[in-house]
Amino acid sequence: VISCPCALVISVPLSFFGGIGGASKAGILVKGSTYLEALADVKTMVFDKTGTITKGTFQVTDIQPADLSADRLLVLAAAAESHSSHPIAQSILEKAHKLPNQPLPAAGKVQEVAGQGVSALVDGSRVLAGNEKLMIESGIPADVLPEGSGMGTVVYVAVDGVYAGMIEISDQIKEDSRVALTLLRQYGLKKFVMLTGDNEQVARRVAGEVGIDEYHARLLPQDKVEILTHLLEQNKTAFVGDGINDAPVLAAADVGIAMGALGSDAAIEAADVVLMKDRLSQIVTAIAIAHKTLRIVRQNIFFAIAVKVLILILGALGLANMWAAVFADVGVAFLCILNAMRCLRVPVISLDRK
């Protein structure tokens, strides 16, 4: 009776179920106890930039045409981007729709180049809209491409293989990003890395403002996977992202965390943990829940084994009766279950902590 493992068999899984239930109350979907345990051991956290650290709500802040008017440049870029759901494309479309007497021409033969931009046939001309890599691969030399202000993402536009101008789009950093990273360090995380397809200037600015230890710019989706693979060899690593391009990286990480409210279906499907409020502070809550759950699991294991070993010894010496044996079995299991129920209570995370 004493050696019956009821307390361990019931209370340990119940603790994890309680942790998952508590996380769901806080708007965090954890897809299994394995990921909750892995989350508590994470030492390196890797972030996508757009929509994760930043709000992902872009606005056109500067237009620099080459040999055509600013309005015409914006209309051509918007037409090329009209079939894209990317936040940058939507900001260009929004700006173009505000132009008076400037209807958007139809775009045909649209091709989206992953991590680089789009190509489309507009008014009989081949229009390219994207980053520096797209321009260079299309035969436009890098020395004719002006740099942006460093405050936003630059979209270069080319018409029939000739550079036509530049549109700069700015994004804002989420209010809780820096505080969230500070709190995560208090939970034992050692390193923060940011991966982005944006240019070096934007990546450096965002990393500096938020407190990122290491950043990599001008990346394609396959580049992100390669860098993450290297990080996985060093520490238990989590990746946080929201876009369809992040799905391969989310799947490759020890723990993939998707920003669910604005995240793509592919990212949510590939992730192990989904945040429903698109705030980095929710990651702090998830880490706190994981640590609390693992702490309660260890308490239950230690308490159950310690009591059973003690009463087994007393029983072998003839000092424990059947009532003591029942307590070591049912009583300990009941106490462990009550302790496991504490996992349902979500830790309160204050963003005002320094």
**Catalytic machinery residues:** 48
Long-range contacts of 203-211 (CB under 8 A, 24+ apart): 203/49, 204/150, 205/150, 205/151, 206/49, 206/53, 206/54, 206/173, 209/173, 209/178, 210/53, 210/173, 210/177, 210/178, 210/181, 211/178, 211/181, 211/182
* Distances, alpha carbon 153 to alpha carbons 50, 92, 172, 353, in Å: 10, 12, 11, 32
Q: How far apart are CA 12 and CA 178, in angstroms?
A: 35
Q: Which two tokens stand for residue 307?
A: 């009591």
Beta-strand ranges (E) seen in 160-298 are 162-170, 191-195, 214-216, 237-241, 255-259, 273-275
CB 293 within 8 A of CB 40: yes
Q: At residue 226, what are phi and psi to the nearest 5 degrees?
A: -65, -45
